[in-house]
Structure 1
């Protein structure tokens, strides 16, 4: 250690620890004591102590608030000396070290360490600092490589990743049933065809700000986990950490649930290249580990959703034309939107449009063909369908399946084949397989699906309509049913075609709505 400076200096003390698991400050206090002793020995006036607790200096993207504040204060001239316990407490980045060496050489900054290993005021001290920083960085990279190899090996064995538990799974990997039900509901409501929920509406439902069938409000997940960790620390006789406040769920959290392959029991590993658009947002599909045949490696834990559902969610999320809105709801608001068909006929060819109409502010439209008021049309269709359901033969119009285990097995097999197609399409988009491989997988899967669906049809067609067709008064049940169930009933029984409103005629005319029974 150099002799004491003859000129008094204004000094800053910088203290840092990468990970303080106990958050009791004892490790920081040990550094503080040695640094303050050195300041007294050199007779330096400590103007401020800067502390970054549980902040890594290895990752250059990590924000160290007090370090940044110290740099700003130095540039303002508040001090001309820095004391830290060890050089790697100050920085592990060679670029940052060179900045401090420049400050020592060009501006007279005195930077010393309490362990006596570095003093940037001398040539020898600067050389030692550079060597130590290079060695530390090399060791950090070796350690990172060892940890990455261990994590990849763990994932290749299908073992659950470490870290904060996801919603639905306990720390030991066991399924938490009530949370798993919420996860399944999120996937089902987001991927259903007729009226999918948005990320925003699902977040509001989880927060209790909106009622959605199938979603039970839950405390914010970070709050739940912090409560569990506090309880565990208390059982160990440790001081509990602050508990994260409960609050509303965010759409980004719902997005993370939908993107997480773990829910389909797909083993994952996050390589450094798994980033999107240069950002640190991870690409979930790039995390999925595969065997030599290109098939995903299955995790050794119970899946919460099946493969098809997970891949279907990825398709929806990846669709750049996915419908989003400020209200957070993508529910159908019209009985016939996406159900009724356009009956416009070309005057020259006589060809009928046949496309499904969309909802308009006051009714339905097909761009360039028809614009119709909706209330009268919906009343007419509802009356016609209800009359048909009131007939004695209503319950045999569509055979109701028994819903036995054989039917469930067929559904599962169909789901597996659809998941194969979705997975192959994603692999093709990621340039993992070629077009001929995609065609081979798709053709084989579609052929098997056709066989399975034909078998399923033998089991019956309308299990979803049993709340209407399976009661004593189907007509009344239909009128009182939800919009979704009424739409399913109409679709199962008939095709509704809307003709253009006759020119010069006002008011609703029944002949402008064609009902073709199936």
Structure 2
């Protein structure tokens, strides 16, 4: 009695840089199936899939296993074991799916105990080779990072793969950081909408509309594929930017000129700490500068990290850090002097005040417009001292280096915990004073050009909410007192406005 012929699945795989292409694998696999008189059910091809990558639900490997479960196939043929199995887990998967595996080279047959044993040994060796290759690549990447060279892999927005600037993208990155570094700046979601060309609250026109990141990268990959004589791959359609993509940009230390390296075997559980750990440091604990042009200043990058790490952002449900109202968190309660919160149509400090938001905003905005319209406005603009700004950055770096060296000494058990705390407290106090001086020198850059505009009042009215808030905070402190009982009309005396001494002016001196 003649047995039924085996139902074969032909499996072929190649990585992106593999010389033994699919078109050379499949003819050899078909030949073997035909010589044995087996029925070819289907061909399963994973093109551009590295041996070290997982073959997930979207792969043809997964489709083949699903067909095996459906009873459509009972045999898998590959050109050799490296194409079919690269780990013991892959081997166990085939066994669990009751599949016999046969290869063109070596004729591994999982239907026999000898074949299963040989496949187990060869799969273990293949896994060892994959791990050893990964370790060699990691050492090479670390060496590149210690030399300050651009890491290999997917290029970040704003940089070419060799580290050169791509001017239009770099300008977009600079604007993303500038906006988010402002304490009352837009949320990540709003920036993503702005990059997508969608309507969003408080997004200046200076934020450009860019194609979705994965579309740009896919088009660039196809240019390289065509140059290599390969067929282009499908390109995803354009669409809105994901907030996670914007977050990845804001977290990337490369934009501040720091050399980076990611040890994938020692990732921190806390995602925010992972970004700090990427910065490569020398033996003194100082960051190694990359051999590329930074897009943002280091102090801007660190300011962004502080905002991203703020407890109110980490714990809120929406992830939004943007203010929605002029005075929320800016105006103070006249009783306890704590910032008021927006509650429906009112400003509120629980137990103390509840005031109409519209009336308060109109009054404060009128005071600000009057101040901006004065002829002596130019005298309130402090002159920038760029040499001093550079010196401040250098001094902050020195103090940060002392903290890092103290931390290293503590980790190596050279100093006690109280010594580390004393050093940290002392240096952080000095850093805070330097940061305050830096903010005073650079404050006009945070005001959207309102103060030095041809018509400051019009520039203020045209500005977005975050700039309006910063202008208000620049000129004055606003305190809200309880409204008199029984009085229905607005009482301006209940809004206490105290002018600030503007840095760099006579009033400040």
TM-score by structure 2 length?
0.82
Please tell me whether the aligned partners of residues 417 and 446 of structure 1 are also in contact (alpha carbons under 8 angstroms).
Answer: no
Matching residue within 150, 158, 173 for 2:148: 158
Structure 2: how far apart are the matches of 1:204 and 1:151? 35
Measure how far apart 1:263 and its partner are.
Answer: 0.9
Give, in whole Å, the separation in 2 of the partners of 1:372 and 1:214. 35
- Pick one of 92, 96, 120 that aligns with 2:90: 96
Do structure 1's residue 447 and structure 2's residue 422 form an aligned pair? no
Is 2:399 the partner of 1:409? no
TM-aligned CA distance change 1:338 to 1:283, over 3 Å = same
Aligned to 1:249: 241
Moved more, 286-295 or 423-432: 423-432
Deviations 1:386-413 (A, max 9, x none): 55555665554x3x3333xxx1232344
1:146 equivalent to 2:136? Answer yes
Q: Residue 322 of structure 1 is aligned with which of 313, 321, 324?
A: 313
Which residue of 345, 355, 358 corresponds with 1:372? 355
Give the corresponding residue for 1:14.
Answer: 10
- Who is 1:71 aligned against? 65
SS in 1 for 2:313: coil
Contact 2:8 2:33 survives alignment (8 Å)? no
Q: For each residue in 1:50-74, what CA deviation from the matched residue of structure 2 results, as whole angstroms up to 9, or x when unmatched?
A: 2222223444575562222222332
* 1:226-237 alignment, distance < 5 Å: 226-234=218-226
Relative distance call for 1:130 and 1:413 in structure 2 (3 A) is same
Which secondary structure does the structure 2 equivalent of 1:95 belong to? Answer: helix
Partner of 1:497: 479
Kept in 1, the 8 Å contact 2:253–2:301? The answer is: yes
Please give the secondary structure, in 1, of the residue aligned with 2:204. coil
* 1:316-366 CA distance string (max 9 Å, x none): 2233421867696724422x333322112xxxxxxxx11222233323221
Residues 306 and 475 of structure 1: CA distance in aligned 2, closer, same or farther (over 3 Å)? closer
Secondary structure of 2:215's match?
helix
Q: 1:243 to 1:22 in 2, by over 3 A?
A: farther
- 2:196 matches 1:200: no
Quick one: distance in 1 between partners of 2:439 and 2:157? 34
Residue 134 of structure 1: how far off its partner (Å): 2.1
CA distance in 2, matches of 1:39, 1:282: 53
Match of residue 25 from structure 2: 31
**Number of residues paired by the alignment?**
491
* Deviation, structure 1 residue 120: 2.6
Unmatched runs of 5 consecutive residues or more in structure 2 = 501-509
Residue matched to 1:517? 499
Shift in Å, 1:162: 0.8
Tell me the distance in 2 between the aligned counterparts of 1:282 and 1:11.
Answer: 52
Q: Does the residue aligned with 1:321 lie in a helix, a strand or coil?
A: helix
Deviations 1:112-146 (A, max 9, x none): 21224312333433332222222222222222221
**Separation (CA, whole Å) in 1 of partners of 2:427 and 2:270:** 37
SS at match of 1:283: helix
1:120 is the counterpart of 2:110: yes
Contact 2:313 2:319 in 1 (8 A): no
Equivalent positions of 1:334-483 (< 5 A) are 334=326, 336-344=327-335, 353-387=336-370, 393=376, 395-396=378-379, 398=380, 400-403=381-384, 407-415=385-393, 417=395, 436-437=419-420, 439-441=422-424, 443-444=426-427, 446-447=429-430, 450=433, 483=465
Residues 392, 434 of structure 2: 8 Å contact kept: no
Name whichever of 249-258 and 445-454 sits farther off. 445-454
Distance in 1 between residues matched to 2:496 and 2:111, nearest whole Å: 92
* Mapping for residues 162-241 of structure 1, pairs under 5 Å: 162-193=152-183, 195-210=184-199, 211-234=203-226, 239-241=231-233
The corresponding residue for 1:350 is none
* Residues 53/328 of structure 1: CA separation in 2 closer, same or farther (3 Å cut): same
Whole-angstrom CA distance in 1 between matches of 2:406 and 2:341 = 33
Take 1:438 and 1:163, find their aligned partners in 2: how far apart are those partners?
A: 39
Q: Is the 8 A contact 1:259 1:314 kept in 2?
A: yes
Q: Secondary structure at the match of 1:171?
A: coil
User: What is the distance in 2 between the residues matched to 1:472 and 1:219?
Assistant: 34
Alignment match, 1:349: none
How far off is 1:415 after superposition? 4.3
Contact conserved, 1:18 with 1:55, CA < 8 A, in 2? yes
Q: Give the C-alpha shift of residue 36 in structure 1.
A: 1.9
Aligned position for 2:279: 288
Closer, same or farther: CA 282–16 of 1 in aligned 2, 3 Å: farther
Whether the 8 Å CA contact 2:268–2:274 is kept in 1: the answer is yes
Distance change (3 Å), C-alpha of 1:177 and 1:438: farther
- Residues 1:65 and 1:373: Cα distance change in structure 2 (over 3 Å): same
Q: Tell me by how many angstroms 1:277 deviates.
A: 4.5
User: Residues 158 and 169 of structure 2 are in contact (CA less than 8 Å); yes or no, is this contact kept in structure 1?
Assistant: yes
State the Cα distance separating 1:206 from its structure 2 match: 0.6
Q: Is the 8 A contact 1:307 1:419 kept in 2?
A: no
